[in-house]
Amino acid sequence: MELDNLSIPRKVQHWANKHPDDEALVFVSKDGPRTALTCADVFNKSKVFGLHLLQLGVSPGSVVVNLLDDSPEAFLVFFGTQFAGCKSMKLIIGPGDDEFLIHLLNTTNCQTIVISSDPENATTKILSKLIHRMSGNKVNSTAIPSLKFVVDSKDIDVNQVGFICQEEVSDSRSVNIEDTMDNGGVLMVSSGTTGPSKIIELSRQGLQESMHKIFKCVMDQYPNSNMFNMRKLFWFLGIPQWYLCTGNRSVHIDNRFPIQEDDLPKFVFDTIINESCECAKLDPMTCSKFNYFLQSDHKLRNKWPLKVVWTGGKPLTQSIKEVIGTVCHTFHNMYGSSEMNLLTMKKIEKDTEFEDFNSGSFFYDIKMKIIDENLKEVTNGASGHLTFQRSPYFFVGYVGNEELTKQSFSEDGYFFSKDYGRVKPNGELIIQGRTEDIVSRDGNIYHASQIESLVRKAPGVYQVTVINVTVNQKEDLCACIVPRVGVSVSEQDVRDFCENEFGKDPQLKEGCPGYYLTLKKFPTNINGKVVRRTLRSNAERSINLHLY
């Protein structure tokens, strides 16, 4: 059976038939219980949820918005929505996001939402003001006219996994879920790094096949390994594709029990040991902290099971090689976007030649053009704006915005990725940053990555983001620095290093930053990408306080 051609519900059914009693999904937390769902649990509970949606009268093809924190129930909603042939959209909403939530629900003509039964839950509080509950699961809403149903989760009770189904269903409304299992879909909300958030409908073929291409390289080497997934369900990489592709256990954080940010790396570290995870989806900073833990206590190395790490979402630098051989044997850096799915991957091992921002080779045959500001194709390995010819793995479109979907492609069908980079002679892609990451100093224009690459060479520097700041009504560059874990970095030392190094490069001589700021971490969005607007505001405030 070719699993990569099966829909998500068919994959769930396959593993339930093959090894029903094996753990499929595990949810862990610092202050809550460990909850495990077997392959049979995932299939049976998801199917029941999907049937309930259809019996309520939820239309196949309609949007079901999942407003639960990542938890067993949240994942069952994701799978159950696919069983019902509906489109799932997972959202993270906080206090004050009322208008944003209303906009998203109206844009998608949302018919059904799933919320926590906890009256203190932030999203539940928002919705309690917007909906009028009628009988059973039926509601109406002046603010959200398309909304017809609300399903409450039992997530407030850690001893139960399920949903509050109040509607009395008659036999005359029985449905055959076999008719809908292959017709589900997924919507995702973009990170907003390139402007207002957009609602993206993912390609069904991309969902079914792309992760098989990624995991294929390790399935034979580690056939029975467990995966720890640090990513959240609202993002493509948060979907438990390891379980869907291999049938092996996928371990996730139960976000009903929040963990302090400073405590998270150690908790994840301990979980990987306790759950014997040989594979993991992690961010580079977490790997750097793991490296520090393992080097600080050599006894931990005997217990450490991790072999392979996947990451994506932002370009990597050469510093990632420091974790190879200690944190893992192999590091896979993936490049793509919600619109384009996953395009490339770079496999990095101890002896791999690796330069900053190398995102590797393409998974499949896809045409690419690198263009300049005038939309002319560049040649000879020059850097420029990356565009990619549309493929079956690409997104269906931006929901509720056909015009934006049309504008995102050139006349000859190439998608404007808004990424900036070049191609090496061996075909590997170098992603240098976003096209809007342009900075200037004294009238000279640079791409931020050009400046960051030099600053990053300063001793003790781990991460760098270069931004423009306005100080005393004059614009200058500020290098914001995150030191290596366990290392103290002097801003003056970095300044001295940069003034010396930039002076040696005639193209960058005038681009040496005028300000340096050491931070514990950068402000990031929910996808882990640096929010430059916030960073600039924080940097200007800090510099002005220091000056005055």
Res. 170: pLDDT tops 50: no
CA atoms within 13 A on the CB side of 223: 1
pLDDT band at 220, cuts 50/70/90? confident
Res. 60: pLDDT tops 50: yes
Question: Which pair of structure tokens corresponds to residue 53?
Answer: 């949606």
**Predicted pLDDT at 332:** 94
pLDDT band at 528, cuts 50/70/90? confident
Mean pLDDT rounded to a whole number for the chain = 90
CA atoms within 13 A on the CB side of 285: 19
pLDDT in tens, 152-167: 998 666 567 777 765 5
Res. 525: pLDDT tops 90: no
CB burial of residue 120 (10 Å; 0-12, 13-18, 19+): exposed
Res. 57: pLDDT tops 60: yes
pLDDT in tens, 494-506: 999 999 999 898 8
Average pLDDT for residues 385-391, to the nearest whole number? 95
**Predicted pLDDT at 1:** 55
Lowest-confidence pick of 107-121, 158-172, 440-454: 158-172
End-to-end CA distance of the chain: 69
φ, ψ of residue 263 to 5 degrees: the values are -90, -15
Residues in the chain: 548
Question: Which pair of structure tokens corresponds to residue 413?
Answer: 């069908």
Integer Cα distance of 191 and 193 in angstroms: 6
Res. 171: pLDDT tops 50: no
Beta strand 23-28 with 35-38: parallel, antiparallel or unpaired?
A: antiparallel
CATH architecture of 7-201: 3-Layer(aba) Sandwich (3.40)
For residues 447 and 352, the model is more confident at 352
Average pLDDT for residues 516-539, to the nearest whole number? 88
Evaluate whether 310 touches 332 at the Cβ level (below 8 Å).
yes
Res. 370: pLDDT tops 60: yes
Give the domain ranges of the chain: 7-201, 282-434, 438-547
Q: What class has domain 282-434?
A: alpha beta
Integer Cα distance of 177 and 531 in angstroms: 43
The one-letter code for the residue type at 20 is P
pLDDT in tens, 298-323: 889 999 999 999 998 777 888 899 99
Integer Cα distance of 489 and 332 in angstroms: 29
Asked if 7-201 and 282-434 have one fold, the answer is yes
Q: Where are the beta strands (DSSP E) in 390-460?
A: 397-398, 414-423, 429-434, 438-441, 444-447
Interacting residues of 338 by C-beta distance below 8 A, sequence separation 6+: 188, 190, 200, 202, 236, 395
CB burial of residue 485 (10 Å; 0-12, 13-18, 19+): middle
Q: Which helix (H) or strand (E) holds 1?
A: none
CATH architecture of 438-547: 2-Layer Sandwich (3.30)
**Predicted pLDDT at 51:** 94
**Predicted pLDDT at 539:** 92
Which of these, 7, 146, 136, lies nearest to 63 by C-alpha position? 146
pLDDT in tens, 13-38: 999 999 999 999 999 999 999 999 99
Interacting residues of 328 by C-beta distance below 8 A, sequence separation 6+: 280, 287, 306, 307, 308, 309
